[in-house]
């Protein structure tokens, strides 16, 4: 057991981290493991793999995801900024490599093969960009004559250009949304932010006429939905309120992406609409509680970075769930901490680790004999000052 007298790294972390957020993230990971084990065998059979192929790999991916989340949550803002800057530099290099020499999957070159695993670098670009951009904007607002907003905008443009080349329109929208939200929090004039965000529909129109797969998905959405979307809708009808039972779903047999892009539909059929609403509430709880923690007095950097990470987390979950019920065109976006995939799961763990680290209550934590805010109590005054009776008034020493 850890008490407040424990000054170790883990002891301080335990009393400053939000344990409700931590428990919620771990719960989502457990739910994800159960759902992948339920959906994986059907998908593996379709492509002639062992039935537990995806379940075993998800278990392997889960270990580094939890490790990254817990390790990053131990860090302070200063090392987080440094590691994010170094990490984003490397990730941008890997994203360029994916465009040049990456493996093509479903018409996109977003993945590179490393030691037998397909890595999607853009998944890690999201949280790392949020931290680096928040740092630049903080320097702009708190520094003197530092054009942080220009550097942030240039960084966003570089990442967006690489994503368009892959192409990955969904991830592009996430990066632009993150940047726009951060600019708003940093105090950029609202009309300017709205003007930039208003360019998003123009970009979507351009993508519709220039990218075949975007045009196909949008046309299918307005014409009644694609095959997988129709099957996903059937899963909600079959599941009802309480579901057909774990492992008894049948719609997943006809969903090639049931373990990843449509795992929410598997949950709907086997566990019912109430379970889906519970998942929705759990994501909402993480976002709202995270925002409440972000509004503390931890500084502008923590506010901008943690809030934008929460927006990423919530929007990605919303896109996945909305596309599963045909409210929006399908994007192929995973459900954070739940869907199958090493890049997605580890990147989601990184995002939650950053959120946990940046929302820790450092200012309110104090050791016994120490007042909140880090001030020593009177009984901890150095002995030489107490005995001499030196008082600091107008700069003169007065003997008591």
pLDDT at 5 over 90: no
Across the chain, what does the average pLDDT equal? 83
Answer yes or no: is 283 within a domain: yes
pLDDT at 398 over 60: no
Answer yes or no: is 338 within a domain: yes
pLDDT value of position 394:
38
Answer yes or no: is 389 within a domain: no
234: Cβ–Cβ under 8 A, 6 or more apart, which residues?
A: 251
> Who has greater pLDDT, 286 or 238?
286
Range of the domain at 180: 9-363
Answer yes or no: is 234 within a domain: yes
Answer yes or no: is 381 within a domain: no
Mean pLDDT score, 159-182: 89
Least confident of 85-99, 158-172, 228-242, 353-367: 353-367
The CB density around residue 218, as the number of other CB atoms within 10 Å, is 16
Please give the model's pTM, rounded to 2 decimal places: 0.85
Percent with pLDDT over 70 in the chain: 86
Mean pLDDT score, 320-331: 85
State the total domains in the chain.
Answer: 1
Grade residue 397 by pLDDT with cuts at 50, 70 and 90: very low
Cβ–Cβ < 8 Å for 247, 35: no
- Helix segments in the chain, DSSP class H: 9-16, 19-46, 53-73, 77-101, 121-142, 148-165, 169-185, 190-197, 199-210, 212-223, 227-239, 263-294, 300-324, 342-358, 383-388
Q: Which residues pair with 103 in a beta bridge?
A: 111
Answer yes or no: is 399 within a domain: no
Q: Cα(65)–Cα(145) distance, rounded to whole angstroms?
A: 40
The CB density around residue 4, as the number of other CB atoms within 10 Å, is 13
pLDDT value of position 364:
54
Answer yes or no: is 213 within a domain: yes
pLDDT value of position 288:
96
Cβ–Cβ < 8 Å for 217, 326: no
Mean pLDDT score, 186-199: 75
pLDDT value of position 335:
93
pLDDT value of position 363:
59
Q: Cα(97)–Cα(91) distance, rounded to whole angstroms?
A: 10
205-263 pLDDT, tens digit each: 777 777 776 777 777 777 766 677 888 888 888 888 998 988 888 888 888 788 888 89
Answer yes or no: is 237 within a domain: yes
pLDDT value of position 107:
63
**Dihedral of CA 386/389/391/396: which sign?**
negative
3-class DSSP state for residue 105? strand
3-state secondary structure 150-184: HHHHHHHHHHHHHHHHCCCHHHHHHHHHHHHHHHH
At 257, give phi and psi (nearest 5°): -110, 30
pLDDT at 379 over 60: no
């Amino acid at each position: 057991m850890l008490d407040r007298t424990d000054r170790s790294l883990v002891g301080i972390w335990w009393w400053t981290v939000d344990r409700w957020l931590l428990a919620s993230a771990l719960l989502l990971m457990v739910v994800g493991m159960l759902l992948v084990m339920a959906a994986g065998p059907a998908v593996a059979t379709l492509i002639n793999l062992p039935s537990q192929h995806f379940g075993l790999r998800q278990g392997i991916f889960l270990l580094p995801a939890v490790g990254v989340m817990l390790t990053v949550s131990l860090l302070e803002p200063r090392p987080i900024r440094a590691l994010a800057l170094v990490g984003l530099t490397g990730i941008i290099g890997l994203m360029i490599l994916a465009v040049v020499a990456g493996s093509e999957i479903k018409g996109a070159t977003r993945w590179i093969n490393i030691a037998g695993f397909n890595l999607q670098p853009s998944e890690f670009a999201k949280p790392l960009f949020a931290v680096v951009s928040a740092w630049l904007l903080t320097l702009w607002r708190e520094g003197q004559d530092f054009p942080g907003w220009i550097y942030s905008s240039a960084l966003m443009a570089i990442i967006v250009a690489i994503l368009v080349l892959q192409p990955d329109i969904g991830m592009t929208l996430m990066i632009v949304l993150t940047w726009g939200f951060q600019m708003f929090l940093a105090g950029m004039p609202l009309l300017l932010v709205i003007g930039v965000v208003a360019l998003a529909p123009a970009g979507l129109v351009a993508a519709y006429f220039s990218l075949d797969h975007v045009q196909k998905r949008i046309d299918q959405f307005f014409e009644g939905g694609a095959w997988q979307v129709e099957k996903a809708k059937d899963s909600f009808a079959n599941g009802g309120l309480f579901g057909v039972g774990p492992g008894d779903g049948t719609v997943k047999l006809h969903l090639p992406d049931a373990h990843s892009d449509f795992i929410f539909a598997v949950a709907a059929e086997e566990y019912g609409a109430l379970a889906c609403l519970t998942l929705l509430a759990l994501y909402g709880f993480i976002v709202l509680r995270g925002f409440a923690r972000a509004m503390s007095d931890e500084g502008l950097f923590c506010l901008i970075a943690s809030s934008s990470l929460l927006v990423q987390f919530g929007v990605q979950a919303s896109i996945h769930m909305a596309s599963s019920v045909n409210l929006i065109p399908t994007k192929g976006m995973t459900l954070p901490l739940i869907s199958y995939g090493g890049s997605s799961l580890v990147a989601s763990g990184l995002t939650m680790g950053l959120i946990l680290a940046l929302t820790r209550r450092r200012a309110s934590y104090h050791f016994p004999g120490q007042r909140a805010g880090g001030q020593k109590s009177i009984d901890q005054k150095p002995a030489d000052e107490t005995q001499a009776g030196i008082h600091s008034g107008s700069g003169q020493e007065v003997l008591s």
